[in-house]
Structure 1
Amino acid sequence: MAFSGFEGFEKRLELHFFDNDPNPTNIHNQLGLRKLEFESIQQILQAVQCTVVSALANSYFDSYVLSESSLFVYPTKIILKTCGTTQLLKSITPLIYFANNHLNLTLSSLSYTRGSFIFPNSQPFPHTSFNDELTFLQNTIPSNLCFRKASIMPSKSSSHSWHVFTATQNPHHYQHDCDQETYTMEICMTELDPILAGKFFREPNDDKSGHSAGKDMTELTGINEINKEAFICDFAFDPCGYSMNGIDGELYSTIHVTPEDGYSYASFECVGSLNDDNDNIVHVLRKVVKIFRPGTMSVSMRTRSDYNNEAWKKVAGAAEPLGLKCRSCVMDQFPAIGSVVFQTFTQLRRKNSLK
């Protein structure tokens, strides 16, 4: 049997709901999905096969660090991101059930995205292939989400592609739950610098809690410098691995690290405001790359505006001084989420060694 390590690449699910009460007046309705009882959240995560290890909240949303990645709960939006061999799509049915029957909320749009698995043969159904995932999605989501699109956004490397599925009941409605015009950026990094990846290993018998060791890693690596305004909830796993969620007003960021040599992986995701200085994208990307120094990297950026037409140039321009060359760039439009740009990068010295 072929060797299989821990699968770092995450599966990401985002669901948006609307309130069946056209005139919500009480606090219960205003909180929406945030009124889900923790026992219900645990049942949803049990279907996926992961658990909550830490939590943080503000007046806008609730943030959970999971045993496999992250969960964010807004009044009308849920983002669930899991790695390893979790069965993420099995969360859809219980999520719809609890939202509909306990909170009087109806699903209005859904998006599912992921990169290419490092160990695809280790994934359980329905994540055994993108075709299996699509069949499961088509058979699971309600019929009112009739505007649907699925695509594999390619790159020059067959091992790096971006899988996207979206569905919505209104093709002119975009997933949006903030007062600001936002973008979502996902950075997936492999072949991390071994010395930098080593900072995400715990000392043997350190007697620290996961929270305490996580805080140490956050400060040691400079992760706390990416967004100094964010409140951070972090956790270090034993003997290695790291997760964090950052919350900054309505916006979130999240990092997950699998540092083992041979299949090292790190991801960074954030929601940023297009109302702010656009150079924030450049700042964030440079900070993240310096923390991990990946050999290969992909960047997916989505926004409902035409901003992506210039954003991909900013991303490529920020990466090259750090020794990463843009090898491919593809764009597409999807119902519910708008414009998506997918770029892949490799180190300049590896120009002819894409595999």
Structure 2
Amino acid sequence: MAVSGFEGFEKRLELHFSGDDPAGLGLRRLSFESLEEVLQAVQCTVVAAVGNHYFDSYVLSESSLFVYPSKIIIKTCGTTQLLKSVAPLIDHANNLGLTLSGCRYTRGSFIFPMAQPYPHTSFRDEVVFLEESLPASLCFRKATVMNSQKLSSHSWHVFTASDEPRMDPNMAEELYTIEVCMTELDCVLARKFFRRPNDGKSGDAAGKEMTEITGIGDINPNAIICDFAFDPCGYSMNGIDGDQYSTIHVTPEDGYSYASFECVGSVYDGGLLAEMLKKVAQVFRPAKMSVSTTTCAGPEVWSRVKGALEPLGLKCRGCAVDEFPATGTVVFQAFTTRRK
């Protein structure tokens, strides 16, 4: 918990592994006890879970965890020490015969940076910690702070490391990852993420109610949603749709309200990305919204972002673009609007 309020901006870590696994389960063979051990180092716990044929999804006390056969994604908020998960995850994977082949760490600018513990005290400290935690085989590395020219107060921090300079041709290059950060949420809509005092409901039941009354369930109607409402306020959900995930986290308090949306999809989604972004913006009506798009495809995906949001009154105030080894292009766009 930050001194002035809860830190909504998440830290996100994505690790890729390689190795032979006849059963095809890979990292999904990690025991729940092993995952709990990793999360204990990060300082968070599992509050809900759901899985399908492709991957396992966990809602955490501080955001989300996704476990695929060959990759794991952890996203945590507050004052969690996310990067302390790197070493134990590598060890657990090695015990399964898997070797780390790629790492990507991303985050926005913290609302309360002075409240963050080491190694999250600065991006420099985070990069040094990662450099020391990763094996030497991941020799293609890059760290960048991306700023939109007109909104320098908010930046996007990206670190990548890989054992190859280019993406594996066997990987699906048509995929994209969208990471959305929203602040200054509409105060009326944000109130929907507060629980009624003594409502007598479990976090699961209250979460389902919030999913319904806010319209979050309509963002991707095909997704199976695992949701949770915190007491007295706050909300998290993971959605699973085949081999693709989505996730939302909300810190609704006045003065430092924040919401995030993240999803992975295909560039050939027929406009699904644009429709989801429109619905997300309508659920929260933020005054400020940043969108980071990571893809090996062309500019089609991030151009759709601007086309989806500007008709809603969110004007693109700045854009930054950079290339990362074996990761592709990262495009950071910042949008703002004025309340009437």
> What interval of TM-score do these two structures reach, taking the shorter chain for normalisation?
over 0.9
Residue 319 of structure 2 is aligned to residue 329 of structure 1 = yes
Match of 1:8 in 2: 8
Unaligned runs of 5+ in 1: 351-355
Native 8 Å contact 1:175 1:337 kept in 2:
no
Q: Is the contact between residue 108 and residue 157 of structure 2 (CA under 8 Å) also seen in structure 1? A: yes
Letter in 2 for 1:56: V
Q: Does 1:66 align with 2:60?
A: yes
Work out which of the residue numbers 133, 139, 153 in structure 2 matches 1:140: 133
Residue 261 (structure 2) aligns with: 268
For residues 264-311 of structure 1, the C-alpha deviation after alignment (integer angstroms, 9 at most, x for no partner) is: 00000000112321x2121011000000000000000011122xx232
Judge conservation of contact 2:173–2:295 (CA < 8 Å) in 1.
no
1:66 and 1:144 map into 2 onto residues whose CA distance is 31
Partner of residue 42, structure 2: 48
In 1, Cα distance between the equivalents of 2:68 and 2:168? 16
Alpha-carbon distance in 1 for matches of 2:175, 2:289: 22
Aligned residue for 1:111? 104
Please, which of 306, 310, 315 is the counterpart of residue 316 of structure 1?
Answer: 306
Check if 1:235 corresponds to 2:228. Answer: yes
RMSD: 1.5
Looking at structure 2, the residues matched to 108 and 176 of structure 1 have their Cα atoms a distance apart, in angstroms, of 14
Question: Percent of aligned pairs with the same residue?
Answer: 68
Describe the superposition over 1:21-43 as per-residue Cα deviations: whole angstroms up to 9, x where unpaired: 4xx43x2xx10000000000000
Counterpart selection for 1:209 from 202, 220, 241? 202
Structure 2 counterpart of 1:87, one-letter code: Q
> Residues 120 and 128 of structure 1 are in contact (CA less than 8 Å); yes or no, is this contact kept in structure 2?
yes
Structure 2 residue matching 1:158: 3-state secondary structure: strand
Q: Give the match for residue 220 of structure 1.
A: 213
TM-score (norm 2): 0.97
2:107 maps to a residue whose letter is R
- Residues 266, 152 of structure 1: CA spacing in aligned structure 2 closer, same or farther, 3 A cutoff? same
Counterpart of 1:353 in structure 2 is none
Contact 2:267 2:297 in 1 (8 A): no
1:280 maps to: 272
1:98 maps to 92
Instruction: Return the offset for 1:157.
Output: 2.1
Contact 1:298–1:345, Cα closer than 8 Å, also in 2: yes
Long gaps (5+) in structure 2: none
Question: Do the aligned residues in 2 keep the contact of 1:174 with 1:304 (CA within 8 Å)?
Answer: no
SS at match of 1:203: coil
Q: How many residues align?
A: 338
8 Å CA contact 2:238, 2:248 repeated in 1? yes
